[in-house]
Every structure is written in structure tokens, then in C-alpha cells.
Amino acid sequence: MAEDIEEIRKRKLMELQRRLAEQQKAQEEAARQQVEVEAQIQAILRRILTPEARERLARVKLVRPELAQQVELILVQLYQAGQIREKIDDAKLKKILAQIDARTRREFRIKW
């Protein structure tokens, strides 16, 4: 009986170790895919943004990462749809940032 309990414990331990290994593999795969997607986005942005516009977007990303991510995704989608035919300079990027910021900004009012 004690041997049976020990055998069950060993099987349970091996099952838990196997599940943990599978979980780690899945996490590593997800991280690798995330890195790949980010690299593809950056490659597209290098094609469609001037160096000044890329610098501005990088600075925005430091301050407002969610806004910068939205702009990046919109620009990539427009590029993939064939709607961007020329490079976007700093002035155009400012306008895009202002439009998206205006749509997503929430105004908070504190009443006394």
C-alpha cells in the first residue's frame, strides 16, 4: 500500500513537471512571436516614416506608450492596405498624433 502511494506521488510529480515544461514552452513561443511582430512593425515604420518622424514617435512612446502603439498599428494597417504612398514626415505625424489623441483623450472634471 505504501508502495502504491509512493507510485501515485511519483506520477503526479511527473505530470506536474510535464505541465510546467509545456507552460514554459508556450510562454517562450508567445514571447518569440511578440518579438517577431514588433520587428515587423518597426521594419514597416522605417519604410513609411522619415527619421524625424520616427524620433518623434519614439519620444511619444516614452511618455504615452498606449498612444504611440495605437499610432503604430494604424500606420501599419494603412500601409498594408496600400493607403500610404509616400513617406510620412514629422508634420504629418504631428497631425496624426493630434487626431488620435483627441479621439482617445478623456477629460476629467472634479466638482466641489
pLDDT at 105: 74
For residues 100 and 98, what is the distance between their CA atoms, to the nearest angstrom?
6
pLDDT at 109: 79
pLDDT at 48: 94
Among the listed residues 71, 66, 65, 63, the one whose alpha carbon sits nearest the alpha carbon of residue 45: 71
Residues 6+ apart with CB under 8 A from 104: 67, 70
Q: Is 83 helix (H, G, I), strand (E, B) or coil?
A: coil
Instruction: With a cut of 70, list the residues of the chain below it in pLDDT.
Output: none
Tens of pLDDT along 65-74?
A: 999 999 999 9
Return the CA Rg of the chain.
Answer: 24
pLDDT at 112: 77
pTM: 0.69
